[in-house]
Amino acid sequence: MKKTHIAFVLCALLAAGAGVAEDAKNTDSPDTLIATVNGTAYRLDVFRQFFMERLQAQQGGNDNPAFQQQVFDEFMGLIVASQEGDRRKLQDERNVLAALELDRMKVMSNAALSAMANEIEPTDKELKEAYEKAKEQATRTEYKARHILVKEEDEAKKLIKQLDKGTDFTELAKKNSLGPTGKEGGELGWFDPSQMVAPFSEAIAKLKPGTYTKEPVHTQFGWHVIELQETRKAEPPAFEDAKPQLTAVLKRQKIGQKINEMRSSAMVELNEEVVRLKPEDEAAPAVDAPKAD
Protein backbone atom coordinates (compact mmCIF):
# COMPACT_ATOMS: atom_id res chain seq x y z
CA MET A 1 0.00 0.00 0.00
CA LYS A 2 1.33 3.41 -0.92
CA LYS A 3 1.60 6.12 1.71
CA THR A 4 -0.83 8.33 -0.23
CA HIS A 5 -3.59 5.85 0.67
CA ILE A 6 -2.84 5.74 4.39
CA ALA A 7 -4.66 8.96 5.27
CA PHE A 8 -7.90 7.63 3.80
CA VAL A 9 -7.64 4.35 5.70
CA LEU A 10 -6.98 6.10 9.00
CA CYS A 11 -9.82 8.52 8.34
CA ALA A 12 -12.09 5.52 7.88
CA LEU A 13 -10.78 4.02 11.10
CA LEU A 14 -11.52 7.13 13.14
CA ALA A 15 -14.77 8.14 11.47
CA ALA A 16 -16.54 4.81 10.97
CA GLY A 17 -19.71 4.61 12.99
CA ALA A 18 -19.47 8.25 14.06
CA GLY A 19 -21.46 9.69 11.16
CA VAL A 20 -18.55 11.86 10.08
CA ALA A 21 -18.60 11.06 6.38
CA GLU A 22 -20.58 8.81 4.06
CA ASP A 23 -17.49 7.29 2.45
CA ALA A 24 -16.19 6.41 5.94
CA LYS A 25 -19.49 4.65 6.72
CA ASN A 26 -19.12 2.56 3.60
CA THR A 27 -15.89 1.10 4.97
CA ASP A 28 -17.46 0.01 8.24
CA SER A 29 -17.89 -3.67 7.38
CA PRO A 30 -16.33 -6.76 9.00
CA ASP A 31 -14.95 -7.68 5.58
CA THR A 32 -13.30 -4.32 4.87
CA LEU A 33 -9.57 -4.72 4.25
CA ILE A 34 -6.86 -2.31 5.24
CA ALA A 35 -4.19 -3.90 3.06
CA THR A 36 -3.11 -6.95 1.10
CA VAL A 37 0.54 -7.72 1.76
CA ASN A 38 2.39 -10.34 -0.27
CA GLY A 39 -0.95 -11.77 -1.33
CA THR A 40 -2.39 -12.00 2.21
CA ALA A 41 -5.41 -9.84 3.08
CA TYR A 42 -5.65 -8.03 6.42
CA ARG A 43 -8.96 -6.75 7.77
CA LEU A 44 -9.47 -3.19 8.94
CA ASP A 45 -10.99 -4.50 12.18
CA VAL A 46 -7.63 -6.06 13.09
CA PHE A 47 -5.86 -2.77 12.58
CA ARG A 48 -8.54 -0.97 14.59
CA GLN A 49 -7.89 -3.30 17.51
CA PHE A 50 -4.13 -2.74 17.19
CA PHE A 51 -4.67 1.03 16.96
CA MET A 52 -6.86 1.14 20.10
CA GLU A 53 -4.29 -0.85 22.09
CA ARG A 54 -1.60 1.62 21.10
CA LEU A 55 -3.91 4.57 21.76
CA GLN A 56 -4.43 3.48 25.37
CA ALA A 57 -0.74 4.03 26.00
CA GLN A 58 -0.69 7.31 24.09
CA GLN A 59 -1.29 10.69 25.72
CA GLY A 60 -3.33 12.94 23.47
CA GLY A 61 -5.93 12.45 20.78
CA ASN A 62 -6.02 9.98 17.94
CA ASP A 63 -6.13 12.82 15.40
CA ASN A 64 -2.36 13.29 15.60
CA PRO A 65 -1.09 12.48 12.07
CA ALA A 66 2.40 11.60 13.29
CA PHE A 67 0.97 9.13 15.81
CA GLN A 68 -1.34 7.61 13.21
CA GLN A 69 1.58 7.15 10.82
CA GLN A 70 3.70 5.61 13.58
CA VAL A 71 0.99 3.08 14.48
CA PHE A 72 0.43 2.20 10.83
CA ASP A 73 4.16 1.64 10.33
CA GLU A 74 4.25 -0.57 13.44
CA PHE A 75 1.29 -2.55 12.11
CA MET A 76 3.04 -3.09 8.77
CA GLY A 77 6.16 -4.21 10.62
CA LEU A 78 4.01 -6.65 12.61
CA ILE A 79 2.56 -8.03 9.37
CA VAL A 80 5.87 -8.72 7.63
CA ALA A 81 7.44 -10.16 10.80
CA SER A 82 4.47 -12.51 11.32
CA GLN A 83 4.65 -13.54 7.68
CA GLU A 84 8.30 -14.42 8.24
CA GLY A 85 7.20 -16.58 11.16
CA ASP A 86 4.76 -18.35 8.86
CA ARG A 87 7.48 -18.80 6.23
CA ARG A 88 9.70 -20.44 8.82
CA LYS A 89 6.77 -22.69 9.86
CA LEU A 90 6.99 -21.57 13.49
CA GLN A 91 3.26 -21.93 14.12
CA ASP A 92 3.73 -25.45 15.49
CA GLU A 93 6.56 -24.56 17.84
CA ARG A 94 5.71 -25.52 21.42
CA ASN A 95 6.22 -22.04 22.88
CA VAL A 96 4.33 -20.43 20.00
CA LEU A 97 1.32 -22.71 20.50
CA ALA A 98 1.31 -21.97 24.24
CA ALA A 99 1.52 -18.21 23.62
CA LEU A 100 -1.30 -18.33 21.03
CA GLU A 101 -3.52 -20.28 23.41
CA LEU A 102 -2.78 -17.87 26.26
CA ASP A 103 -3.59 -14.90 24.02
CA ARG A 104 -6.86 -16.53 22.99
CA MET A 105 -7.76 -17.10 26.64
CA LYS A 106 -7.01 -13.46 27.50
CA VAL A 107 -9.10 -12.17 24.59
CA MET A 108 -12.04 -14.44 25.46
CA SER A 109 -11.74 -13.54 29.15
CA ASN A 110 -11.80 -9.80 28.43
CA ALA A 111 -14.73 -10.23 26.05
CA ALA A 112 -16.65 -12.24 28.66
CA LEU A 113 -15.94 -9.72 31.42
CA SER A 114 -17.09 -6.89 29.15
CA ALA A 115 -20.30 -8.77 28.30
CA MET A 116 -20.93 -9.46 31.99
CA ALA A 117 -20.39 -5.79 32.84
CA ASN A 118 -22.92 -4.75 30.20
CA GLU A 119 -25.50 -7.05 31.81
CA ILE A 120 -25.05 -5.55 35.28
CA GLU A 121 -26.95 -2.43 36.27
CA PRO A 122 -26.56 -1.47 39.95
CA THR A 123 -29.77 -0.25 41.60
CA ASP A 124 -30.15 3.25 43.03
CA LYS A 125 -30.23 1.71 46.49
CA GLU A 126 -26.90 -0.05 45.91
CA LEU A 127 -25.37 3.12 44.50
CA LYS A 128 -26.54 5.24 47.43
CA GLU A 129 -25.27 2.70 49.97
CA ALA A 130 -21.92 2.64 48.20
CA TYR A 131 -21.88 6.44 48.15
CA GLU A 132 -22.50 6.72 51.90
CA LYS A 133 -19.76 4.20 52.59
CA ALA A 134 -17.35 6.01 50.27
CA LYS A 135 -18.22 9.34 51.93
CA GLU A 136 -17.26 7.98 55.35
CA GLN A 137 -13.97 6.66 54.02
CA ALA A 138 -13.26 9.86 52.07
CA THR A 139 -13.66 12.12 55.11
CA ARG A 140 -10.14 13.27 55.79
CA THR A 141 -8.29 16.35 56.95
CA GLU A 142 -6.52 18.55 54.46
CA TYR A 143 -3.81 20.99 55.47
CA LYS A 144 -2.73 24.43 54.32
CA ALA A 145 0.86 25.10 55.26
CA ARG A 146 4.15 26.68 54.33
CA HIS A 147 7.72 25.61 54.97
CA ILE A 148 11.34 26.63 54.80
CA LEU A 149 13.80 24.09 53.41
CA VAL A 150 17.52 24.29 54.21
CA LYS A 151 20.50 21.96 53.91
CA GLU A 152 21.70 21.82 57.50
CA GLU A 153 19.92 21.20 60.79
CA ASP A 154 21.72 24.09 62.47
CA GLU A 155 20.36 26.48 59.83
CA ALA A 156 16.84 25.29 60.56
CA LYS A 157 17.35 25.73 64.31
CA LYS A 158 18.52 29.32 63.78
CA LEU A 159 15.41 30.06 61.72
CA ILE A 160 13.19 28.65 64.46
CA LYS A 161 14.86 30.97 66.97
CA GLN A 162 14.15 33.92 64.68
CA LEU A 163 10.50 32.86 64.44
CA ASP A 164 10.38 32.64 68.22
CA LYS A 165 11.44 36.30 68.29
CA GLY A 166 8.61 37.27 65.94
CA THR A 167 10.37 37.34 62.56
CA ASP A 168 7.95 37.02 59.65
CA PHE A 169 7.78 33.46 58.28
CA THR A 170 7.22 34.60 54.69
CA GLU A 171 10.30 36.81 54.68
CA LEU A 172 12.47 34.07 56.18
CA ALA A 173 11.27 31.63 53.53
CA LYS A 174 11.98 34.03 50.68
CA LYS A 175 15.49 34.68 51.93
CA ASN A 176 16.48 31.17 53.04
CA SER A 177 14.33 28.40 51.56
CA LEU A 178 15.95 26.18 48.93
CA GLY A 179 12.62 24.72 47.85
CA PRO A 180 10.78 25.82 44.68
CA THR A 181 8.14 27.51 46.86
CA GLY A 182 10.72 29.73 48.56
CA LYS A 183 10.04 32.73 46.33
CA GLU A 184 6.34 32.48 47.30
CA GLY A 185 7.19 32.52 50.99
CA GLY A 186 7.17 28.73 51.24
CA GLU A 187 3.44 28.49 50.48
CA LEU A 188 2.33 24.88 49.80
CA GLY A 189 -1.40 25.56 49.51
CA TRP A 190 -3.94 22.88 50.42
CA PHE A 191 -2.81 19.27 50.34
CA ASP A 192 -3.64 15.79 51.56
CA PRO A 193 -0.95 14.54 53.99
CA SER A 194 -0.55 11.39 51.89
CA GLN A 195 0.96 13.62 49.19
CA MET A 196 3.93 14.39 51.41
CA VAL A 197 6.82 12.23 52.57
CA ALA A 198 6.18 10.51 55.90
CA PRO A 199 8.29 12.68 58.26
CA PHE A 200 6.68 15.83 56.87
CA SER A 201 3.14 14.42 57.18
CA GLU A 202 3.76 13.14 60.70
CA ALA A 203 5.13 16.50 61.83
CA ILE A 204 2.29 18.57 60.40
CA ALA A 205 -0.36 16.28 61.91
CA LYS A 206 0.94 17.24 65.37
CA LEU A 207 0.63 20.99 64.79
CA LYS A 208 -2.28 23.27 65.56
CA PRO A 209 -3.24 26.02 63.09
CA GLY A 210 -1.04 29.06 63.56
CA THR A 211 1.89 27.12 65.03
CA TYR A 212 5.20 25.91 63.59
CA THR A 213 7.57 23.06 64.31
CA LYS A 214 9.83 23.76 67.28
CA GLU A 215 12.36 21.21 66.04
CA PRO A 216 13.64 20.84 62.45
CA VAL A 217 11.99 18.07 60.41
CA HIS A 218 14.38 15.91 58.41
CA THR A 219 13.44 14.35 55.03
CA GLN A 220 15.43 13.20 52.04
CA PHE A 221 15.18 16.76 50.69
CA GLY A 222 16.84 18.42 53.70
CA TRP A 223 15.67 20.10 56.90
CA HIS A 224 12.26 21.75 57.13
CA VAL A 225 10.63 24.34 59.34
CA ILE A 226 6.89 23.92 58.88
CA GLU A 227 4.05 26.26 59.77
CA LEU A 228 0.45 25.00 59.74
CA GLN A 229 -1.93 27.74 58.63
CA GLU A 230 -5.35 26.05 58.41
CA THR A 231 -7.08 22.68 58.31
CA ARG A 232 -10.34 21.60 56.69
CA LYS A 233 -12.37 18.50 56.04
CA ALA A 234 -12.21 17.35 52.44
CA GLU A 235 -15.59 17.54 50.74
CA PRO A 236 -16.65 14.39 48.89
CA PRO A 237 -18.13 14.80 45.40
CA ALA A 238 -21.91 15.06 44.98
CA PHE A 239 -23.80 11.79 44.47
CA GLU A 240 -24.56 12.50 40.81
CA ASP A 241 -20.92 13.35 40.12
CA ALA A 242 -19.73 10.17 41.85
CA LYS A 243 -22.35 7.94 40.22
CA PRO A 244 -20.29 6.85 37.15
CA GLN A 245 -17.33 5.83 39.32
CA LEU A 246 -19.57 4.09 41.86
CA THR A 247 -21.29 2.19 39.04
CA ALA A 248 -17.93 0.97 37.73
CA VAL A 249 -16.84 -0.10 41.23
CA LEU A 250 -20.06 -2.03 41.89
CA LYS A 251 -19.84 -3.72 38.50
CA ARG A 252 -16.29 -4.87 39.27
CA GLN A 253 -17.41 -6.18 42.66
CA LYS A 254 -20.34 -8.09 41.19
CA ILE A 255 -18.16 -9.55 38.43
CA GLY A 256 -15.60 -10.61 41.04
CA GLN A 257 -18.32 -12.35 43.04
CA LYS A 258 -19.60 -14.08 39.89
CA ILE A 259 -16.10 -15.26 38.95
CA ASN A 260 -15.59 -16.66 42.46
CA GLU A 261 -18.91 -18.53 42.20
CA MET A 262 -17.88 -19.91 38.81
CA ARG A 263 -14.54 -21.05 40.21
CA SER A 264 -16.24 -22.72 43.18
CA SER A 265 -18.68 -24.62 40.97
CA ALA A 266 -16.16 -25.55 38.27
CA MET A 267 -15.29 -29.25 37.91
CA VAL A 268 -11.52 -29.28 38.25
CA GLU A 269 -9.35 -32.35 37.77
CA LEU A 270 -5.76 -31.54 38.56
CA ASN A 271 -2.82 -33.42 37.13
CA GLU A 272 -1.28 -34.59 40.38
CA GLU A 273 2.01 -35.33 38.64
CA VAL A 274 2.60 -31.58 38.32
CA VAL A 275 0.29 -30.26 41.05
CA ARG A 276 0.80 -32.13 44.29
CA LEU A 277 -1.99 -31.72 46.81
CA LYS A 278 -1.08 -32.19 50.47
CA PRO A 279 -3.52 -32.86 53.29
CA GLU A 280 -3.79 -29.96 55.72
CA ASP A 281 -1.93 -31.85 58.44
CA GLU A 282 0.99 -32.46 56.05
CA ALA A 283 0.96 -28.95 54.62
CA ALA A 284 1.02 -27.29 58.04
CA PRO A 285 4.44 -26.68 59.63
CA ALA A 286 5.41 -29.23 62.24
CA VAL A 287 5.16 -28.13 65.89
CA ASP A 288 7.44 -29.75 68.43
CA ALA A 289 5.64 -31.37 71.34
CA PRO A 290 6.51 -29.90 74.74
CA LYS A 291 9.25 -31.83 76.51
CA ALA A 292 8.58 -33.37 79.90
CA ASP A 293 10.52 -31.92 82.79
Q: Are 221 and 179 contacting, i.e. CB atoms less than 8 angstroms apart?
A: yes
- Residue type at 256 in one-letter notation: G
| pLDDT exceeds 60 at position 148 | yes
Give me the percent of the chain exceeding a pLDDT of 70: 82
Domain spans of the chain, in order of start: 3-88, 140-233
**Looking at residue 138, what is its pLDDT?**
67
Q: Are 190 and 141 contacting, i.e. CB atoms less than 8 angstroms apart?
A: no
Q: Could you read off the pLDDT of 222-274 as tens digits, one per residue?
A: 999 999 999 998 777 889 999 999 999 999 999 999 999 999 999 999 888 88
**Looking at residue 140, what is its pLDDT?**
78
Fold of 140-233: Chitinase A; domain 3 (3.10.50)
Of 227, 226, 228, 225, the closest CA to residue 154 belongs to 225
Taking the whole predicted model, whether its pTM rises above 0.85 is answered as no
**Looking at residue 211, what is its pLDDT?**
97
Q: Are 183 and 265 contacting, i.e. CB atoms less than 8 angstroms apart?
A: no
| pLDDT exceeds 70 at position 6 | no
**Looking at residue 85, what is its pLDDT?**
96
CA–CA dist 142, 192 (Å, integer):
5
